[in-house]
Structure 1
């Protein structure tokens, strides 16, 4: 029988609140958190002995805890998150049909710039390019080139053709090579993305949209393609088809929004918990409504309905966006300011009460000049360095094209983007294209189809990523 004098805990060997457990000829201390059982709870436990820091991170022992100094682009409590974007296969699809013959160089420049900014390799990004018109042609797959110089040289082979625009063939070809190891696809070891550069005017629109819908109906684990990004390029743009192909406003862009497309790819190919890319939503929008009485009554009502839908779609998509409304003829008048309200019904009600004035003409260049000087001031609700957009709603029957174009350019230089909404049968699409910075800034609204405005709403929310996102941390 064990005697009391054999109890190893009688000498109270455990320090700092530790409890003693008597063993045969020895004892064990159960320490309170942070103390080391190996020293009978006399000293701080070294949590780094368990090597908790992953991926080459250095461990710092702290009181009852540890911290990791992570290497390269790893992040997280134990450096478990790989915050360096990559492991993505990107396929660019280039429309070379008749409608794109004058814009091929712009498309090639876009792709070259994109490839040049991303690291390339088997453990980085891989690229392929498909051109299409009547048929889909694989210019090169993921295996063909190992240098950016060779890719940019191959892009010079792209030229326009006199042909229709069969987009479904190109999309199915992109899915095919994403599923083919022969084409260099990394299958499930990389995410797969399509960037479709075209004008939204497919010859096979119904078949294309049905094909994309069939892809979206697949369970997530069976989807080869993670995202289809549509980029508007051309002399005439139909965003309604583009939004149906990309399936989300945040995946539809204009060609001039290169940074938005690039940063979206970086965000989508990074660990979801990493913070190198931040979402910006504080966009200020001023709707500029032409109210001269020379407009067709039916057309004016169509444009008022378009204003209603702009407000509704923007607020629904991005509650942080602020909207102001100004009307103009030969002068400009504020209907409501940027900070007046974020209530959809209240803004719509005020917008629908705006009636035409007796003036037969309108001075758009003057109205734009006034907005450039005062529209986005803090006293009118402007919020500093955020994205700023002016939306022109008019029949487009202007005469002073040179003055309007000059004001649009000055606004662009002041980091204010000017877009137009074309609505009503009396509206001149060509005149909007003539004065705005790019055709991708024109949003065409077909009769009772306001889908294109969802793409505009997508402009109000965008990512910005750190410039050193690919640089190894020291």
Structure 2
């Protein structure tokens, strides 16, 4: 079994829970990850399995997956995926069986026109019998009969990546200074655990409490079920005495926002990114008064909009951000140079940088240039300086999301504003507020229980 990652929570504010180990689907060993989802062509000893659309849906369901649901934004990847798997076409999870022309995905959600990729003169519903979709080797869509035995195509399934396995250690402050808040901490830990598969091959949970002296409440192998773990959380109680300075809460955070202003991007997308920045600033200053924010606009060169040391009035900063306009001249953005500039200058004490503050860079960009060794190298350099780099992508633009995941050090560093949300679509940016409040622990806390 592969070595498990150790994830440690120092605070009740949980910002992310992502691991780099992906569990494969039973019965299939050829799953491929792309933008947070897994894809596979179902195969047997003879190669790709070919079935009717109806049977393909059932086969994917048995794999705890759905039928392949590509969009027009995935065309380049789709073509390469079919080629890598030695197939020229395959079923996709769309149909209009209920209402002719009203195409829906296999899960019942509507297929938006902006996601469609129909071939020329398609769909044509030939002979009134074609109500299910398939994909050609050029990624164009076509409609075919759903359950005609003479029409069988390769079965392609997709599912969301499943995180794990991982060992999670909760460290809880039980000193008298937390009295009145311990129950809330237990509620949050319970909420997290109830959404995880618990077991030796999945997630294992341990709990440590501390006030003046740390102690282990239970280890990783003591409890093997969700019920037993969550019940054990109630074994912790407030203890007499102050919190030991082995773990100290820090709320200082210096954040630099990078806004791409190169001319060759849509005006709508640019305004959308400025709205996202406004939401970010409002949320950060509301959640943590100890945060400082600077902003840099860049194309082929970088210019300060405002530095960390500028006025902490959020309305003034938002007004300055909205005064930024696209370049008048068409030039290519130089993100690698901008990242280098930020690493050298933006966090200097003369510009308001604080030596003990958590340092974060957030990229708001159309990112048309795609993967670049230079950009990746600069992000690695910033990481070595303890400067975290996050990317923000707008919901429907898959190429931008793909480009981000190629340059960022981990997919958890990409914040995607969803296309649809029952609440504010910019709520994903609240994760940044969680990152600004954290605990710094002395190394001795980990030496107690090797």
User: Normalising by the residue count of structure 2, what TM-score does the alignment of the two structures yield?
Assistant: 0.50
Paired residues for 1:285-296 under 5 Å: 285-296=255-266
Structure 2 equivalent of residue 26 of structure 1: none
Q: 1:131 to 1:342 in 2, by over 3 A?
A: closer
Q: Number of paired residues?
A: 266
Task: Specify whether residues 271 and 390 from structure 1 end up closer, same or farther in structure 2 by C-alpha distance, changes over 3 A only.
Answer: farther
Aligned to 1:320: 290
Change (3 A) 1:466 1:327: same
Whole-Å separation in 2 of the counterparts to 1:280 and 1:142: 25
Q: State which of 447, 454, 459 in structure 1 corresponds to 2:435.
A: 459
Aligned with residue 435 of structure 1, among 407, 410, 415: 407
CA separation of 1:469 and 1:150: change in aligned 2, threshold 3 A: closer
Correspondence 1:119-130 to 2 at 5 A = none
DSSP 3-state at the match of 1:450: helix
TM-fit CA distance, 1:467: 3.3
Q: Tell me what 2:73 maps to.
A: none
How far apart are residue 379 of structure 1 and its match? 1.6
Is there any run of 5+ residues in structure 2 with no aligned partner, and where? 1-9, 11-16, 26-35, 40-159, 173-188, 207-215
RMSD: 4.4
Post-superposition offset of 1:414: 1.1
Give the direction of change, closer, same or farther, for the CA distance of 1:272–1:452 in structure 2 (3 Å limit): farther
Which residue of the partner structure matches residue 374 of structure 1?
A: 345
Matches of 1:177 and 1:459, distance apart in 2: 30
Q: Is the 8 A contact 2:360 2:388 kept in 1?
A: yes
Q: Distance in 1 between matches of 2:193 and 2:354?
A: 42
1:442/1:471 CA distance change after superposition, 3 Å: closer
Closer, same or farther: CA 464–270 of 1 in aligned 2, 3 Å: farther
Q: How do residues 71-470 of structure 1 correspond to structure 2 at under 5 angstroms?
A: 107-108=164-165, 110-111=167-168, 114=169, 138-139=199-200, 151=221, 174=226, 176-178=227-229, 185-186=231-232, 188-190=234-236, 273-276=242-245, 277-357=247-327, 358-399=329-370, 401-423=372-394, 425-426=396-397, 428-447=400-419, 449-469=425-445
Structure 1 residues 400 and 470: alpha-carbon distance in aligned structure 2, compared to 1, 3 A threshold? closer
**Aligned partners of 2:383, 2:18: CA distance in 1, in Å?**
29
Query: Distance between the aligned counterparts of 2:205 and 2:341, measured in 1?
Result: 51
- The alignment partner of 1:299 has SS state of helix
Structure 2 CA distance for partners of 1:101 and 1:449, relative to 1, 3 Å:
closer
Find the counterpart in structure 1 of residue 141 from structure 2. Answer: none
How far apart in 1 are the matches of 2:18 and 2:258? 36
Structure 1 residues 162-218: Cα deviation after superposition (integer angstroms, max 9, x where no partner): xxxxxxxxxxx72x3357xxxxx4474336xxxxxxxxxxxxxxxxxxxxxxxxxxx
Name the SS of the counterpart of 2:391 in structure 1.
strand
**Contact kept? 1:388, 1:417, Cα under 8 Å:** yes
Q: Distance in 1 between matches of 2:438 and 2:309?
A: 21
CA–CA distance in 2 between the matches of 1:138 and 1:106? 13
Contact 2:299 2:333 (C-alpha < 8 Å) held by counterparts? yes
Instruction: Indicate if the aligned counterparts of 1:393 and 1:420 stay in contact, CA closer than 8 A.
Output: yes
Distance in 2, matches of 1:355 and 1:293, equals 9
Instruction: Summarize the Cα distance change of 1:467–1:296 in structure 2 as closer, same or farther, 3 Å threshold.
Output: same
Q: Write the deviation string for residues 84-117 of structure 1: whole angstroms up to 9, x where unpaired.
A: x9xxxxxx99995766889999843554xx49x9
In the alignment, is the contact (CA less than 8 A) between 1:285 and 1:323 conserved in 2? yes
1:451 counterpart SS class:
helix
SS in 1 for 2:409: coil
Report what 1:161 is aligned to. none
Whole-Å Cα distance in 1 between the matches of residues 314 and 305 of structure 2?
Answer: 15
Is the CA contact (8 Å cut-off) linking 1:445 and 1:452 kept in structure 2?
A: yes
Question: Could you tell me how far apart the structure 1 residues matched to 2:249 and 2:388 are?
Answer: 19
Whole-angstrom CA distance in 2 between matches of 1:325 and 1:293: 19
- The gaps in structure 1 that reach 5 residues or longer are 1-84, 86-91, 119-126, 156-172, 180-184, 192-268
Distance, in Å, in 1 between the alignment partners of 2:234 and 2:221 is 24
Instruction: Provide closer, same or farther for how the CA distance between residues 332 and 137 of structure 1 changes in structure 2, counting only shifts above 3 A.
Output: closer
| Cα separation, partners in 2 of 1:331 and 1:367, compared to 1, 3 Å | same
Q: Which has the larger radius of gyration?
A: 1
Residues 1:188 and 1:421: Cα distance change in structure 2 (over 3 Å): closer
